[in-house]
Each structure stands twice: as structure tokens, then as C-alpha cells.
Structure 1
Amino acid sequence: MKNYITTPIYYVNGEAHIGHAYTTFIADTLARYSRLVGNDTYFLTGTDEHGQKIEEAAKKLNKPTQQFADEISATFRNLWDEFDISYDQFIRTTDADHKIGVQAAFAKMYENGDIYKDFYEGNYCVSCETFFPESQLMDGGCCPDCGRATSIVKEESYFFRLSKYERPLLEYYEAHPEFILPKSRRNEVISFVRGGLTDLSVTRTSFSWGVHLPETLNEPKHVMYVWLDALMNYATALGYGTDEAKMAFWPANVQLVGKDILRFHAIYWPAFLMSLGLPLPKHIAAHGWWTRDGEKMSKSKGNVVDPREVSNHYGVENFRYFMMREVPFGQDGDFSQRALIDRMNSDLSNDLGNLLNRIIGMSEKYSDFNVDSKDVAQYHAKELSDAHESLKAAENYLFELQPHRYLEELWRVFTIGNKAIEEHAPWVKIKEGRNDEALATVALVANLLAKASVLLHPVMPQTTTKIADALGFEITTDSYNALIKNGALLNPFTIKKIPPLFPRIEEPLMAEAPKAMIEEAPKAEPKPAMVDKKETTLSEEGLITIDQFFQTSIKIGTVLDAEEVPKSSKLLKLQVDLGEETPRQIVAGIREYYSAQSMIGTQVCVVANLKPAKLMGLLSEGMILAAKDADGLSLVRPEKPRLSGSSVG
């Protein structure tokens, strides 16, 4: 079986951050698992290097654009190499073969009648490399995606007939419910497409840093729209338009993206593929964003987490484990030094590392390091059965893109091992002369460690290689088939005494912590300017002025995700799109009247300029408006769908 796995190609407008690392860790885990089970696997990552934004960034630094792209692209590749990412190809959109492939795709779409020439006039966002109709703009003509100012651009352009694919896309989503993962994101995409698709401008003439059109069109001033160029990388990496031998890997099995670029991958990309007559990927999987100690990361706050510094301080595999275990895929995650240390001390040191240390110590004491599985099934059939159930469940969760649940099931196996030692107390049985039973318990735990380590290998390959070496076997497709698929036990072996894998970590002094993880000292908030008291208080009649009313910012928000707050019968945690760079987390006391599922995809009115507050330890960045009377509570909503971020008032 062939299996093609991709990360998004990362835009070279800055060095890699924690979000890039998260996507790449998950993709690497999927690729390693795919190889482990015997699939012919191809894993692609790389960098996206064209567009006006890159051209302008290079000019600001007084560097040739290609040199600028080379330098930033190298930082990504070097980091992935440091992290031992097992990619098969690192593609760059400045590669010659990629350009040829993109030109071939453009020519085919043109021949199919899906690309035509016209003029475009509208608001263009350089940051997002996207035109927006006036109806979608935020206050002051700002971009609805990133909030930055747009500029009016009029230029000749080629257009892709995206509107032609509105119905085929909706039919495909209906027929393939697993196409977009997690499923909560599917409704968001379907809602957008049902709102109507307009044809997409796919060339630019206002800058030159991009892939030029095929020579047959004789259009030297046109370069391709960066998203058409970038999305085609997944096919050109396999030789589309050049040497197509590797196209046997198409369609991709899993294409991982951040939720901010889901629309491009779940709407534009499949439409392009339909035009080219290529099958669509099996899964487009969108993950959430990462915050830092409950706050959005930004350079101005000084709270951006540098993945290299975290890795250097705590170890790349501990970092990988934390990120994939800490947050459900698709939801936003929060990075904190305390949470990372807790995971390392509890899960890794106590549950896994200490379990291995215990059986090494017992085998040394009771059997001169020799371990034999011959009596395990006789004395521990129940533990083996429970462990195999968890191992099977773990694999199912990985297929469903739930790596946190995958790891939870593996840790159940380690828990079975720790509990078996406590319940069967080999040291007691040795004293009673029941040596066979005592040694069977030691061998049971060795087998549980071996089996769970095989499936942990895609997440922590270096760690599990050490465990397997101590237990006298190698992690290969053969050992996967034997220990996992066939339920076999280890052959007799001599266990190796190795140093502890996960020494406990005491929280470091702040001076010892990585620079990127040190919180800045709180700065004194500026005192409000003195104003006329009568302008800031209610009149005797309880009335306010129009100026006072407009001090409150109320915006239309679209609920992207919702979940119940544990231990609360009233609160829901919502992720709300307010047309900003990232969604806001809002904790609302509406659970008694609205279920989490019913909120997803709906629009609400949000007080957007409230000072953030914490409710039950969760950061809330706004307030949802609702009315309540004797008949219950009802949310205040727009009469018709409106663009996220639209002002109310």
C-alpha cells in the first residue's frame, strides 16, 4: 500500500515557530507509523517562497529576493534535520521542476476552459495575497482574515472558474464525510461554499516574484497567484508535469494544515484537482493554534516559543510527546513550561521510565537479568487481553487523526504494567518460593513495555529504540506484525541495564530556563488620561451619550468550535472568529440553554473590547450578548449571515 503524507509548505516570511513544529511532528509521526506497518510511504514538507510579500520583505532588507528565500528556507530545513524529521523530500516553490509542473497545470486548466482572461479591480491584501470583495471588508477597508489595511488594485488577470465547482465540491463533501478532519471543521467549509463561490483571480501583473505563465500564452508580465503556485507543490513533488513516476503515490492519504489555511486546501485545492482530472486527497486535516500560558503569542509581548530552545532544554522527543498528548487535534493548545515539566515527570518519568527501571532491577535480583515469557499467558491472560484491546484502540485513534487519544491508550498499557507489579508483588512471591509466578510478572511487564514501545516508536523513535535494545529486540515491521498484529510474546532474552531514560526535572530557576520561555516582568499599566467627569458618568436620567455608546465594540462572530467546560453545568468554551488573525476563546454561561454541538457554525454578537478575564481557570476574550426572561435565555444574533468581524451599531 502506498501512503503519501504532507505538511503545508511553510511561508518564508519568518523562521519556524511552535505551530510549524506541531504540524511537522504530527506528519512525521504518521509517516513513521506508516513505514512501521509496512506501507510504501512518501513524506513531503518544504517552503513556499513566492509572492509580493516575499518580494517586499527582501527589498526592506536590501537583499536579492532569491537570497532572502534561500536563507529563510534553510532555517526550516536545518531545524527539521535537527529534530530528525524523516521527510522524503523537502520541496521549494523556487525549484525548477516545481515551476515546470505548475506551468503544465495552468496550461491544462486553460485548455479545459477553466481559466480565462479578464480585468480585476478590488481590494487586495498583500499579507494574505488575496483579493476581497467590498462586502467582505472590515471597517476602514481592512482585510477580513488578518485585519490589515487593503489597497485598491486594478489589473489585468486570468481567472479560474471556481464558481463552476461549487456544486461538485458540495457533492464531494457529502459523499466523503471524512475528507475534512476534524469533522467540526467540515461545517465551516460547507457553510462557506454554500454562501456562493466567485471565480478566482489566479495571476498578478503588479509584481514579478513568482512562476510565469506558460510560454504558449505569450504573457510575460503575468505571474501566477501564489496559492495556485503553492498548492500545486503536492503534485509537482511527485513529478507532475515532468517525470511522473512518483505520481503513483497520488492521491495523498493525509494533508496536514493549520486551520487558518483550511479554506485554501479544502476549497481551492480540490477544485484545481477536479479541473486537472486528478483524484482528491483522502483527508485534509486542520489543527488549531497554540497560545502561551493562555495568551496569544506575539513578538511584541515577547512570549513567542522558540521550538529549538525548548528542544535544546528539554529534549526533542519530550517536546514531541508533550505537544501531541497535551491537546486534542483540531483544538487550540496552550504551551506552558509547567505543563511540559508535569508531563515529563508524571507520564514519562513515573509511568514509563520507572516501569522499565523496576523490571530491570527485579530481573537483576531474581533471575540474573534473564527474562522468559513462557509462563506469562498462564498467570496473566487478563492483563494481556486488556493491553491488546488498548493497543488496537490506539491504532484506530491514529487513523482518525487523534494522536492525543492514541497516546492515552498506550499509557493505559503502561498503567496495566505498573498495576500488575503492585497487585502481584513479585518480591513477596519470591520469598514464598513461588518463583515461576514472580518471574512471569516481570516477563509480563517486559512484554507490555515492548508492545507499547512499538507503537510509541513513531512519536519517540530514539527513546523507544533504547527501550527495545534493553528488551532484546528491534522495532521493525516484523516485530510490529509479531507483537501487535499477532499478539506474540518476546523470545527469552537477557535484559540490559541502562541509565534512567527520564530523570525527574525540578522546575528550573528562571535564569536557567530558555530565553523564549521566560516570562517578561509585568509592566505597569498606563493610567487613563484625565477626562471630563460628566463625559464618563450616566446622567441623572440614566442616559449615556452616543460617544459613550461607541466606546463599546460589538462585532459579529462565527463560532468555529465549542466544547463543554468540565466540572461546570453552565459554561461552554467557544472558539469565535471575529475576523482577526486568530479566533478568540470566549467562555459563556449558556450551557443550560445551548449544547456545544448546536453552537458550531452559528453567528453571535460579541462585546469585543472587554478586558480578558478567567472563568474556572480559562481565559475568556469577550462576552456573547443574550437576552433572558421568564421563558429562558436567547442569544442575540444577526438576522442574516454577516462577515465575521462586522461591527454592530
Structure 2
Amino acid sequence: MGYSVTTPIFYVNAAPHLGHAYSTIVADVLARNHRQRGDDVFFLTGTDEHGEPVANVARDRGITPQELVDENAPKFQAMGPVLESSNDFFIRTSDPRHKAAVQEILTTVKENGWVYEGQYEGWYCPKCADFKTESEIAEGNTCPIHGVPLLRESETNWFFKLSAFQERLEQLYADRPDWVVPQSRRNEALAFIKGGLQDVSLSRNQITWGVEVPWDLDHVFYVWWDALLNYVTALRFGRDGEDLTASHWPATHVIGKDILKFHTIYWPALLMAAELEVPTRVMVGGFLLVGGTKMSKSLGNVLDPFDAIEQYGADAVRFYLLREVAFGSDGSVSLEGLKLRYESELANDFGNLASRSTAMVRRYRDSVVPDVAVDPVVAASFAGLGDTVSRMLDDGQISQALEAIWERVRLLNRFVEEQAPWTLAKAEKVDPTSEGFDPDELTRATADLDRVLRTLVEGVRVLAVLLHPWLPSSTVVLLDALNVPDLAWSGAELGTGAAGAVGDLAPLFPKDRAAA
């Protein structure tokens, strides 16, 4: 089965920050989960390289736009491996193959009767590259996202008949109430639609850095149409020798709330105009806040993902962002918060659980996991967890799925303390010649210790399978130590793992990293 997931493509007028990493990690969690479920996954990310903001930065630096994007795009491409992103393709919208596909699709939209020439005058944000409606203008005639003054623009453009799709968009939202998640973002988009849609510019004639309009070479396509189409065009050439359009479209999109309008209103209307299916789902993340303000290149309050990963590792940063900030909501992030989560949850809760469980098997059973049934109470608490997590992920409940797994991490830690395997091990060593020796008690202690050790190792194994999308490197290390390195989602059920031998396991999350 084909499954396609995308990040927004990132604007290349500056270097990447932790906000870019956030959406990449979310999409990677989805991609890894679907691979575990046996799907043929196409995970797409990339860079948005056209438009006025890029041209302006290049002009201010005295270089060409192409030189600027060639300088910055590799920085975003390098972010993927550092984040342990498993994306299958990285698209650059300056790619000639993309540009040709954009021209082809938008020519089809024109031929279908949805494009006309007209005069535009209105307020424009040069940082958003967006013409603002009256409801989108902040106090002082500024952009509500960037806080910069809006510019009054007037030009002759080619227009897209967005207004003609009002009823079809309203019907889409009625027929598929979970098409946009979370619900608050769906309601926001639907309110915009119900407020009345106006036709929007398809082209610009006052800039030259963009994809040329093939029927009017004095114009380039408005950057948003060019950028949105990457989700479709990349399927044509993103896998060598294959066109994945038929098997992998429609896709699931992961976006930020600042680009909601384009992805949940403009984009489905354009696809309808081109006679293509709308996306499977649009998952909308909130803002990462630093000091109460959105992390933004233009505001300069960014955290460098490379610095955070160098100190704590990619798994820790991935975990922290999706644990600290519930996907879909705004949330504050800091290096102090990362350190706290690293120490309390990764090192103490999960890392210590894995270390204790394997160490006790090595100490009490010569590294061989007892081949007995798991504890029925623990098994009941794990029952159906894999299906629950998959459903949550498909519904965009990324952080809630992680919490569902972490409840079992805490449960197993309680299980260790309540069962006290070290006490059971002492009972096994009672001298059979000692006064009052009870062989039945010895038998019970042995059986109980076997049950506890088997349950702990099996529980840790299942947790590793479930947590792999969030913690890809450390879970592979753990599964290798358990000698059951199978990541298949079918193994996310307690009692299905082989009762073999365990190997040495170094600390998954060394505490000296947090102390540095």
C-alpha cells in the first residue's frame, strides 16, 4: 500500500532553525510508523526557492537569487540526516523538472476555464509573500504574523477563480470533518471560507524570480502556487525510474498554522481545478515559542537544531519537541526544558528501565530470557496498544500517541518496584539445608522471577518497537541488545517476542550529556 507524507517546503532566505526541525520530525514519525506497518512510504521534504523574499535578500547581498538558494538549500538538506529524518526525496523548486510540471498543471487549470486576466490592488506582506484580506490585517496596517507594515500593491495579473470553489470547499469540510486536524484549525479554515472567497492572483508581473507563465512570459507564477504543487510534481521524479502519482497521491501534509490558508483553502481548490484528488489529511502544528514569542528567522529568536543535537543527540531533540509541545498547539521550548526531559524521562524512566531489565537477566539467568508467559496484568495493559498508537498517529495526535506509550513506560517501572525481582533472587539462594527451608517457596520464587524478567524484557522490546518513530537510533540499539531487532509493527504486542539471550547494553541516554 502506498503512503505519502510531506513537510512544508522551507523558505531559503535564511538558515534552518528548530521550528523547521519540528515539522520534519512529525512527518518522519508518521513515515517510520507506516513503514513499520508494511506500507510503501514516500516521505517528501525540500525547499521553496522562488518569490519576492528570496529575490529581495539576494539583491541586498549583491548576489543572484540562484546563488542565494544554492547557498542555503544545502543547509536545509543537511538538517535531515542530523535529525535522523528518513525522507525519501528532497525537492528544490528551482529543479527544472518541477518547473516544467508546474507549467503543465497550471496550463491545464487555465484550459479548464479557471484562469483570467485582471487588475489587482491590495495589501501585501513581503515576508509572507501573501496578499492579505481585510480580516487578516493587524493593528497599524501590519502583518499579523511578522509584524511588518503591509505594502499597497497594484498590478495586472492572471487570476485564479477561487470564488468559484466556495460551495465545493464547504462540502469537502462537511463530508470530511477530520480532513484538517486539530479541530480548531479546521474551524478557522472553514470560517475563512464561509466569510466569502475572492479570486486570487495566480501570477506576478513585477518580479522575475519564479516559474515563467508559459502563455505570458512577462509573468511568473505567484510563489505559493509554485510551492504547493511540489507535493504532486515530486511524485513524478522523486523515485528513480518511477512515477508514483497513481500509487502515492493523495498525500498527508504536515504544516504550520501560519500557512493554513494556503494549504486548506487555496490548495484543495487548485487541485479541484486541475481535476486531481485533494490531500488525504492536513495536520496543522502550532508555533514553537521562545520567551513567549513565535520562533522566527525574521525576529531572530531562533534555537539552532544543530547545537541542540550536538549536545543531547537527535533522539533526545525529537522526543523533547513532541513531548513538550502537544502537536497542534503553541508551546514554549528551551534548552533548559530539553535538559529536564532528557534527565527525567529519557535517562531515568526509559533508559534506566532498559538497563535494569537486561542487567537482571544477565545477572539472575545467565543472559537467557526465561521462556514463560508474561504477567497477565501487564499484558492486559499493553493489549491493543499498537492499534491505538497507529490510529492516533493517523489522526494527527502525535503527542497523545507518545503519551499513551509513556504510560506503559511508567507502568513497567512501577512493576519493577512492586515485584522486587532482587528480593525474589535472594529467595532463590536460600540454603536448602537451613532450618525451615520450604521447597514450595523456592519454586514460587523461581517462577515469579522468571515471570517478572520475561515480562520486563518483553515489555521493553514492545516499547522499543512502539517508540522507534520517535527514537529511531536508541530503539535500534536496544533491540539489537535484546537480539530481536525486528521493527515490524506486528511485534508491538506483548508476548510475541522470542525468549532468547540478551547482550550488553550501554546507557541509551548517558547522564553526562545533560551535565555538559
TM-score, scaled relative to structure 2:
0.92
In structure 2, relative to structure 1, the CA distance for the partners of 1:84 and 1:137 (3 Å cut) is closer
| Aligned residue type for 2:217 | P
Matched, 1:453 2:468: no
Asked if 2 retains the 8 angstrom alpha-carbon contact of 1:417 and 1:448, the reply is: yes
Counterparts of 1:135 and 1:367, CA distance in 2: 69
Q: What is the aligned partner in structure 2 of residue 125 from structure 1?
A: 125
The amino acid of 2:492's aligned partner reads I
Match of 1:45, SS?
strand
Distance 1:135 1:170, change over 3 A: closer
Distance 1:203 1:37, change over 3 A: same
2:379 matched to 1:384? yes
Whole-angstrom distance in 2 between the partners of 1:131 and 1:429: 71
- Residue 344 of structure 1: aligned partner: 342
**Could you say which residue in structure 2 is the equivalent of 1:278?**
276
Can you list the C-alpha shifts for 1:73-116, whole angstroms capped at 9, x where unaligned? Answer: 11100111222211111011100111111101111111111001
Task: Judge conservation of contact 1:4–1:249 (CA < 8 Å) in 2.
Answer: no
State the Cα deviation string for residues 278-333 of structure 1 (Å, max 9, x = none): 11111111100011244444679864211110111111110100111112111001
Tell me how far apart the structure 2 counterparts of residues 249 and 19 of structure 1 sit (CA, whole Å).
31
1:349–1:503 CA contact under 8 A, matched in 2:
yes
Matched AA of 2:501: T
1:474 aligns with 2:485: yes
Tell which deviates more after alignment, 359-368 or 460-469: 359-368
The residue type equivalent to 2:463 in the other structure is A
Alignment gaps of 5+ in structure 1: 513-649
1:229 is the counterpart of 2:236: no
CA displacement, residues 541-565 of structure 1 (integer Å, 9 cap, x when unaligned): xxxxxxxxxxxxxxxxxxxxxxxxx
Q: Which residue, 408, 417, 420 being the options, matches 1:422?
A: 417
Q: Secondary structure at the match of 1:41?
A: strand
Once structures 1 and 2 are overlaid, which stretch shifts more, 430-439 or 152-161? Answer: 430-439
Taking the aligned partners of 1:302 and 1:56, their CA distance within structure 2 comes to 18
Residue of structure 1 aligned with 2:254, choices 248, 253, 256: 256
The answer for the alignment partner of 1:577 in structure 2 is none
Measure, in 2, the Cα distance between the counterparts of 1:208 and 1:59: 12
> How far apart are the structure 2 equivalents of 1:302 and 1:163?
37
SS at match of 2:244: helix
Change (3 A) 1:190 1:396: same
What is the CA-CA distance between 1:126 and the residue it aligns to? 2.0
- Are the aligned partners of 1:42 and 1:249 in contact in 2 as well (CA < 8 Å)? no
Could you say if the C-alpha distance between residues 182 and 356 of structure 1 is closer, same or farther in structure 2, counting changes exceeding 3 Å? same
SS across alignment from 1:238: helix
Question: Which SS does the other structure have where 1:206 is aligned?
Answer: coil
Shift of 1:118: 1.7
Rounded to whole Å, the distance in 1 between the matches of 2:315 and 2:251 is: 25
Does the CA-based 8 Å contact 1:255-1:281 persist in structure 2? yes
Higher RCO (Cα < 8 Å, 6 or more apart): 2
Q: Which residue does the alignment assign to 1:193?
A: 193
**CA separation of 1:136 and 1:296: change in aligned 2, threshold 3 A:** closer
Q: Measure the CA separation in 1 of the matches of 2:379 and 2:448.
A: 15
Q: Which amino acid aligns with 1:492?
A: A
Matched residue, 1:203: 203
Q: Which residue identity lines up with residue 160 of structure 2 in the other structure?
A: F
1:64 positional shift:
1.6
Q: Distance in 1 between matches of 2:378 and 2:293?
A: 43
Deviation for aligned residue 1:143: 3.9
Name the stretch that deviates more: 120-129 or 263-272. Answer: 120-129
- 2:335 and 2:153 map into 1 onto residues whose CA distance is 46
Mapped to 2, the partners of 1:220 and 1:303 lie a distance apart of 40
Cα deviation code 1:339-364 (max 9, x no counterpart):
21221111111111111221222222
Q: Give TM-score, length-normalised by structure 1.
A: 0.73
> What's the counterpart of residue 406 of structure 2?
411
Q: Deviations over 1:555-611 (max 9, x none)?
A: xxxxxxxxxxxxxxxxxxxxxxxxxxxxxxxxxxxxxxxxxxxxxxxxxxxxxxxxx
What is the match of residue 26 of structure 2?
26
- 1:448 maps to amino acid: G
Which among 489, 492, 495 is matched to residue 496 of structure 2?
489
**More helix by percentage:** 2
Render the CA deviation track for 1:21-44: whole Å, top value 9, x for unaligned: 000001011101111110011000
Q: Note closer, same or farther for the CA distance 1:430–1:474 as it changes in structure 2 (3 Å cut).
A: same
Q: State the distance in 2 between where 1:506 and 1:85 align.
A: 22
| Paired residue type of 1:461 | P
Q: Residue in 1 aligned with 2:369?
A: 371
1:395 Cα offset (Å): 2.7
Q: Which structure 2 segments of 5+ residues have no match?
A: 428-441
Offset at residue 145 of structure 1 (A): 4.8
SS in 1 for 2:120: strand
In structure 2, what is the Cα distance between the partners aligned to 1:304 and 1:52? 23
Offset at residue 134 of structure 1 (A)? 6.4
Please give the alpha-carbon distance, in whole angstroms, between the structure 1 residues aligned to 2:246 and 2:321: 33
Residue deviations 1:516-565 (CA, integer Å, cap 9, x gap): xxxxxxxxxxxxxxxxxxxxxxxxxxxxxxxxxxxxxxxxxxxxxxxxxx
Question: Residue 119 of structure 2 contacts residue 155 of structure 2 at CA under 8 Å; is this kept in 1?
Answer: yes
Give the secondary-structure state (helix, strand or coil) at the position aligned to 2:13: coil
Aligned with 2:283: secondary structure? strand
The answer as to whether partners of 2:142 and 2:148 remain within 8 angstroms in 1 is: yes
Distance 1:250 1:76 in 2: 24
Cα separation, partners in 2 of 1:499 and 1:244, compared to 1, 3 Å: closer
Query: Aligned pair in 2 of structure 1 residues 187, 232: CA closer, same or farther (>3 Å)?
Result: same
Indicate the SS of the match to 1:459: coil
Deviations 1:226-252 (A, max 9, x none): 011110111100129x99821024433
2:235 to 227, 234, 238: 238
Deviation at 1:503, TM superposition (A): 2.4
Contact 1:5-1:252 within 8 A present in 2 as well: no
Structure 2 CA distance for partners of 1:140 and 1:453, relative to 1, 3 Å: closer
Q: How big is the alpha-carbon RMSD for the aligned residues of Structure 1 and Structure 2?
A: 2.2
Q: CA deviation at 1:376?
A: 2.4
Q: Within 1, Cα distance between the matches of 2:394 and 2:46?
A: 24
TM-aligned CA deviation for residue 161 of structure 1: 0.3
- Supply the distance in 1 between the matched residues of 2:82 and 2:146 (Cα, whole angstroms): 32
Gap change, CA 1:92 and 1:355, over 3 Å in 2:
same
Q: Does 1:444 align with 2:444?
A: no
> Between Structure 1 and Structure 2, whose CA radius of gyration is higher?
1
- Contact kept, 8 Å, 1:103 with 1:213, in 2: the verdict is yes
Please state how far the C-alpha of 1:122 moved relative to its aligned partner.
Answer: 2.9
Letter in 2 for 1:228: W
Map 1:59-78 → 2, pairs under 5 A: 59-78=59-78
Deviations 1:183-232 (A, max 9, x none): 11111111111111111111111111000012xx2x22111000111101
For these two proteins, the number of residue pairs brought into alignment is 499
CA 1:446–1:69: 2 relative to 1, 3 Å: same
Where does residue 359 of structure 2 map in the other structure? 361
